[in-house]
Amino acid sequence: MQSRVIEKAASLLESGACTRVLGWKAGAFFYDVTPAVFTCAQEVREQMVFNPFCGANLSKYLIAESRKEGRIAVFLKPCDTFSFVQLQKEHRIARDKVWAVGVQCRGMCDIDSLKELGLKGVTAVEEAEDDLRVTTLYQEKTISRKEALSPRCHTCKSRKLLDCDELIGDQGQDLPSSRFAQVEALEAMTPEERFAFWRGELSKCIRCNACRNVCPACSCEKCVFDNPNSGVQNKAAASSFEENLFHIIRAFHVAGRCTDCGECTRVCPQHIPLHLLNRKFIKDMNEFYGPYQAGGDFDAKPPMLAFTLDDPEASIITNGRDGQ
């Protein structure tokens, strides 16, 4: 797959079809792959990678990149294409300046998942069908790809590549996903347990804003949290509720626009399961206002921009408890 992606990127640049390519390159280690823009074919051949650690969703970068001169080619995995469509719906991406290449994905891996398997000092990971050949400082081991998947990829919702100009690999299908299982498990707890869970998770927050910066839906040019008068900048002076407030507002701002790509949880340095907040909103909207997948198509009306005369009242909320 890597060679096909690199060859495609190089040929797009060499033929002059695009002036830039948005892809991935290795960071300090082979597993901390980072998004990168390439401008010549030589650069692509030397630096570009497409390996099981290319989890980063590139669609957000198109907001800025599609405004520059010349056409940019971009490589999108199925979940990235949902964000791509959603951003087009919001008129954030100039579609005619983008050449979208869909890359089929079998789930991205996570170095933390490898570490949990007891593999330390990993120096290389090679793909082999459904297995991964992992080389560490101490041993060589073959593990199944499933074991090394990043948590979000265990509940993959779809392998459809939406709105791409060409595909590498096959077109995929929607998958039966149990992605709301964790939300339901939390709903089944008592309010005290839920409060303890979220206080435990969110008090780890260091307010690095990585979740905000990486989120394709969270892309306002001016952010409420950058306003010095908002009073939410200063972590040191914050007491316990402050992190909850930040994350409630962050999740609320993307309600109805979040495609559930899971980037927020992936980038969180404190491993807070932030996607659960977004998923709760998605689950509620599906239940209250009918099924909706943000970025799923160009026509469906987002639930937060619509209403019906007989919407349920706020008193409907029971979260698993019997009505009061």
Partner 1 sequence: MQVNETFTPTIVAFCCNWCSYAGADLSGTNRLQYPANVKIIRIPCSCRLNPMFILRAFQRGADGVILCGCHPGDCHYTTGNYYARRRMTLLFSLLDFMGIERERTRVEWVSAAEGAKFAATMNDFTQTITRLGPNRRLEDLRCKVE
Nearer to partner 1, 15 or 240 (CB): 240
Nearer to partner 1, 166 or 193 (CB): 193
Output the smallest distance, CB 200 to partner 1, in A: 11
Nearer to partner 1, 5 or 202 (CB): 202
| Alpha-helical runs (H) found in 90-180 | 111-116, 145-148, 151-154
Give CA–CA dist 82/59, Å, rounded.
9
Output the smallest distance, CB 157 to partner 1, in A: 20
Q: Which of residues 178-237 bind partner 1 (CB under 8 A)?
A: 183, 186-187, 191-199, 224, 237
According to the binding rule CB under 8 A, does residue 28 interact with partner 1?
no
Non-local CB neighbours of 132 within 8 Å, separated by 6+ positions: 52, 109, 125, 126, 142, 143, 144, 145, 148
The angle formed by the CA atoms of residues 56, 36 and 268, to the nearest 5 degrees, is 35
Nearer to partner 1, 9 or 186 (CB): 186
The angle formed by the CA atoms of residues 214, 220 and 224, to the nearest 5 degrees, is 100
According to the binding rule CB under 8 A, does residue 301 interact with partner 1?
no
Among 52, 57, 281, 295, binds partner 1 (CB under 8 A): 281
Q: Which residues pair with 38 in a beta bridge?
A: 21
Nearer to partner 1, 41 or 183 (CB): 183
Nearer to partner 1, 269 or 312 (CB): 312
Give CA–CA dist 227/294, Å, rounded.
28
The angle formed by the CA atoms of residues 252, 214 and 59, to the nearest 5 degrees, is 105
- Binding segment for partner 1 (CB under 8 A), chosen from 60-68, 89-97, 100-108, 248-256, is 248-256
Residues that bind partner 1 (CB under 8 A): 183, 186-187, 191-199, 224, 237-242, 244-245, 248-249, 251-252, 255, 277, 280-281, 284-285, 288-289, 303-304, 307-309, 311-317, 319, 324
